[in-house]
Amino acid sequence: MLVALTRPVPTSIAECELTHLKREPIYWARATEQHRQYEAALVSLGCRVEHLPVQPALPDSVFVEDTAVVVDECAVIARPGAKSRRGETATVAKTLGAYRTLSKIVAPGTLDGGDVLQIGRRIYVGLSSRTNTDGARQLAAFLQPFGYTVQTTTVRECLHLKSAVSTLPDGRLLLNPRWIDGAAFAVPYLEVDAMEPHAANVLCVSKTVVCPATAVRTRKRLQSEGYEVVSVDASELAKAEAGLTCCSIVFWADIG
Ligand code: GLY
């Protein structure tokens, strides 16, 4: 079945890392309610949501995607580029160890899971303010024995590779052409509506695309292409420079 790891929103969320956004108030109660609705959407799409322990002193700890890369054969524990986030990985490793053999990115490598885009057996790593070439090299060394090819790409004007591009259920991509060059991927793609730059981060669960509620025009574009779309309001966590994929790690697990 599909497992979705999530972690509660910490009360310190307003002190999160910000790279491209200006700081504005983030209301914990509203963020928590939106996070609850996000988890409910995952459950309605067939995921078993497994909660990691809350980490009150780690403001970005709700963004679990950045802490690991999980493929069918193994998992790689990340080494987040922001020092303030490095304490997030231990509990993720403990939980993922029950499902996968683990490897770990070590210094001087840095890698955020949000910079890793999987398209079948091709893995793209965005070189960003968080992920460096050594992190990408280590990831490649862990995944190549399983038949994955790993290549780097550059990210511009946004935090992570997956801020700019996401996979869709049929293998096409959804991307924001201002932040990433679609030709880099050799896969057909759709563009977000130009008014909705952050709509490029969508979460696919089986055949369904989970889309931010603010991305009304992009949602229509996806529906007109035949995709099944559900919307989730994640506007409060968006102020923390996060998209929908950031709040979970979704993977297949054999559970008896
Ligand atoms: N606030 C999300 C991040 O910077 O990692």
**Rounded CA separation 138/188 (Å):** 28
Report the separation in Å between the CA atom of 154 and the middle of ligand 1, taken as the mean of its atom positions.
18
| 204 catalytic per annotation | no
| 198 catalytic per annotation | no
Q: What is the pLDDT, as a whole number, of residue 111?
A: 98
**Rounded CA separation 202/172 (Å):** 12
Ligand 1, CB within 6 Å, residue ranges: 16-17, 19, 60, 63, 82, 159, 240-242
Which strands form 149-154's sheet, in the order they lie side by side?
Answer: 116-119, 122-127, 149-154
Buried b (16+ CB within 10 A) or exposed e, 184-216: bbebebbbbeeebbbbbbbbbbeebbbbbebbe
Residue to mutate (ligand 1; options 62, 63, 89; most atoms within 8 A of CB): 63
Strand-pairing partners, residue 230, are: 210
Written in H, E and C, the secondary structure of the chain is CEEEEECCCCCCHHHCCCCCCCCCCCCHHHHHHHHHHHHHHHHHCCEEEEECCCCCCCCCCCCHHHHEEECCCCEEECECCCHHHHHHHHHHHHHHCCCCCEEECCCCCCECHHHEEEECCEEEEEECCCCCHHHHHHHHHHHHHHCCEEEEEECCCCCCHHHHEEECCCCCEEECCCCCCHHHHCCCEEECCCCCHHHHCCEEECCEEEEECCCHHHHHHHHHCCCEEEEECCHHHHCCCCCCHHHCEEEECCCC
**Rounded CA separation 120/171 (Å):** 8
Q: What is the pLDDT, as a whole number, of residue 256?
A: 64
Report the separation in Å between the CA atom of 84 and the middle of ligand 1, taken as the mean of its atom positions.
10
Instruction: Give φ, ψ of 175 to 5 degrees.
Output: -145, 160
Q: What is the pLDDT, as a whole number, of residue 255?
A: 79
Instruction: Give φ, ψ of 184 to 5 degrees.
Output: -65, -20
Q: What is the pLDDT, as a whole number, of residue 2?
A: 97
**Rounded CA separation 112/102 (Å):** 16
Q: What is the pLDDT, as a whole number, of residue 83?
A: 98
Report the separation in Å between the CA atom of 226 and the middle of ligand 1, taken as the mean of its atom positions.
32
**Rounded CA separation 161/151 (Å):** 13
pLDDT in single tens digits along all 256 residues of the chain? 999 999 999 999 999 999 999 999 999 999 999 999 999 999 999 999 999 999 999 999 999 999 999 999 999 999 999 999 999 999 999 999 999 999 999 999 999 999 999 999 999 999 999 999 999 999 999 999 999 999 999 989 999 999 999 999 999 999 999 999 999 998 999 999 999 999 999 999 999 999 999 999 999 999 999 999 999 999 999 999 999 999 999 999 987 6
